[in-house]
Amino acid sequence: MILAIDIGNTNIVLGCIEEKILFVSRITTNKQATQDEYAISINNILKLHKIDPEKIDGAIISSVVPAINNAVYGAVKAVTSHEPLVVGPGIKTGLNIKLDNPAQLGSDRVVGAVAAIAQYPKPIIVIDMGTATTFCAINELGEHLGGIIYPGVKISLDALTQMASNLSGISLTKPKKVIGSNTADSMKSGILYGNASMIDGMIDRFEEELGKTRTIVATGGLSETIIPFCKHKIIFDNDLLLKGLKIIYDKNVE
């Protein structure tokens, strides 16, 4: 059994994996939290899911928040008595990255691509909707060609409510119709259908360059909210990054 941790800008996703994922949990990413505070959070989550830390055989971390890497690394070591692998230079992933500078590819995008290639028919578009929304293009050879990054759903909504004085916060529930007849429904429609339309349009543009894709897969905290409003057939896989972390862990402990 391994402990897999994906550190994002908004949330830290963690889970224990044997042959299958035993649980998935989330804690808030906190740049001010200490190693001990993260250790307490991880230990409490393991207790909540009735996982004995002594039965954990290893751990792996992916992070896009370098400022907390040392604290989480130390916390995992304290809780499990294992030094975790960290996705980055020197770690075997098996991913052929065709970027101008492969080192610039975020570890979350590496992990997602590794999982998608292992699980789904190629070519593949991988969509990850978190703090940022990212697309990754994978060709029929399993090569990572590149992608896009644009502001995520919550960033867009927060910017709208903070910068426009007359617009207040809303819940992301489905509006009655696309053409809103009040401010709240107009905002909901703009965020939900606007992001869905952006995803649909970007898929069309990717396929113009990549060719017709066999698989479009989405992951990330906000995918489940937006993907149902898209017109393309998109597979929702909320555990994609944890699956990728398990694959990478296995490649490095053989």
Question: What is the per-residue pLDDT across 124-173, written as a single tens digit (0 to 9) for each?
Answer: 999 999 889 999 999 999 999 999 999 988 888 888 877 676 666 777 78
Reference 173, options 134, 235, 130, 228; nearest CA is 228
Decide: 217 and 124 in contact? Cβ < 8 Å: yes
pLDDT of amino acid 19: 87
What does the H/E/C string look like for 150-184? EECHHHHHHHHHHHCCCCCCCCCCCCCCCCCCCHH
108 catalytically annotated: yes
CA distances in angstroms from 124 to 107, 167, 196, 234, listed in the order given: 18, 38, 18, 11
The Cα–Cα gap between 221 and 75 comes to 24
pLDDT over 70 at 215, yes or no: yes
- For residues 203-231, average pLDDT: 93
Alpha-carbon distance 123 to 141, whole Å? 8
Instruction: Tell whether the model's pLDDT for residue 59 goes beyond 80.
Output: yes
**Would you state the pLDDT for residue 173?**
83
pLDDT more than 90, % of the chain: 78
Active site residue: 6, 52, 100, 108, which one? 108
Max avg pLDDT among 68-72, 148-152, 185-189: 68-72
Q: Given pLDDT bands bounded at 50, 70 and 90, which one contains residue 188?
A: confident
